[in-house]
Amino acid sequence: MPHPRHFTLSFSCPDRVGIVAAVSQFVAGESGWIIEANNHSDQTVNRFFMRLEILAESLGNDLDRFSERFEPIAQAFNLDWQISDSARKKRVVILVSKQEHCLYDLLGRWKSGELDVEIPCVISNHEDFRGLVEWHGIPFHHVPVDRENKDAAYAEVARYFDAAKGDVMVLARYMQVLSPALCARLRNRILNIHHSFLPSFVGARPYHQAFDRGVKLIGATCHYVTDELDQGPIIEQDVIRIDHSDQVSDLVRYGKDIEKAVLARGLRYHLEDRVLVCGNKTVVFR
């Protein structure tokens, strides 16, 4: 059964008595029907996190009116808040290099309707996947990146993202380090899949690092991108057990399956406004 149209209200704020009561009473006063609610209090930083799904029909399908009337509550509790409409598909711009498995997976989920988004374009520093992407009816942009042109290249990536009216950028095994300016401009809107269980084995060739270290578990991490390599807030992770008989090629093969699943889950959590960032950590309402 399709999920009914709903508005998703999510926020964080300094923790204090009365937040849940004030917000829920306000929603009830607007005749809002809450169909899902989650909250968390982080006492180490004295911060409160909450996410509500409200049946859009119960609010007259009027997001702007609800947002305007909610503003005094937001100001009273110093909320860092956002609200979204499930009727509006979010626009996902994908960046990829020469590893195709995550791109294939996202396109497959999109094509089947499992991932209910728009993919307005795919950007790559190589031409390898132009045919695949354009076969799906999606514009493909080739933006070469080298040491001498990085600033210009990422300015062009930003222009394509803006022209596509992108909501989120996904690095689907995009093997380049984004510019600090782009990371800052799209803070908490760029997702990366790293092929290790962070914080172990950051940077390049993590499966080789894991093999050399003799680990018994390998994993993958979906995280937000910052200007510090592989150090952004973690959204989702998973692992698989390996043993002494596995070679680097086996680790790479196992890892591709984990990478696809972890990236898809992390992206879904982000798209559904289930991720709230707190410093370099996240609260994820699954």
Query: Can you give the pLDDT of all 286 residues of the chain as single tens digits?
Result: 567 999 999 999 999 999 999 999 999 999 999 999 999 999 999 999 999 999 999 999 999 999 999 999 999 999 999 999 999 999 999 999 999 999 999 999 999 999 999 999 999 999 999 999 999 999 999 999 998 889 999 999 999 999 999 999 999 999 999 999 999 999 999 999 998 888 888 888 899 999 999 999 999 999 999 998 889 999 999 999 999 999 999 999 999 999 999 999 999 999 999 999 999 999 999 9
**pLDDT, position 2:** 65
80 and 98 housed in the same domain: no
- Any domain includes 114: yes
**pLDDT, position 198:** 85
- Any domain includes 1: no
CATH number, residue 262 = 3.40.50.170
Number of domains making up the chain: 2
Does 230 participate in catalysis according to the annotation? yes
Which of 52, 85, 118 is the C-terminal boundary of a domain? 85
- Any domain includes 221: yes
Q: How many Å apart are CA 246 and CA 250, to the nearest integer?
A: 6
- Any domain includes 213: yes
- Any domain includes 162: yes
196 and 258 housed in the same domain: yes
**pLDDT, position 25:** 97
- Any domain includes 53: yes
135 and 267 housed in the same domain: yes
Encoded tokens for 153: 């290249």
154 and 255 housed in the same domain: yes
Which of 44, 67, 85 is the C-terminal boundary of a domain? 85
**Dihedral pair phi/psi, residue 195, rounded to 5°:** -90, 55
Which of 85, 112, 128 is the C-terminal boundary of a domain? 85
170 and 235 housed in the same domain: yes
Residue 26 near residue 73 (C-beta atoms within 8 A): yes
158 and 131 housed in the same domain: yes
- Any domain includes 200: yes
> How many CB atoms lie under 10 A from the CB of residue 244?
6
23 and 119 housed in the same domain: no
- pLDDT, tens digit (0-9, with 9 covering 90-100), for 99-153: 999 999 999 999 999 999 999 999 999 999 999 999 999 999 999 999 888 999 9
* Residues listed for the chain: 286
172 and 43 housed in the same domain: no
113 and 238 housed in the same domain: yes
Pure H helices in the chain:
19-29, 63-76, 101-112, 130-135, 150-163, 180-185, 206-213, 248-271
- Any domain includes 111: yes
170 and 218 housed in the same domain: yes
Residues 6+ apart with CB under 8 A from 83: 7, 8, 9, 10, 63, 66, 67, 70
CATH number, residue 57 = 3.30.70.260
**pLDDT, position 3:** 79
Q: Which residue has the tokens 């699954």?
A: 286
| Domain that includes residue 28, residue range | 6-85
240 and 149 housed in the same domain: yes
114 and 161 housed in the same domain: yes
- Selecting among 64, 230, 246, 273, the annotated active-site residue is 230
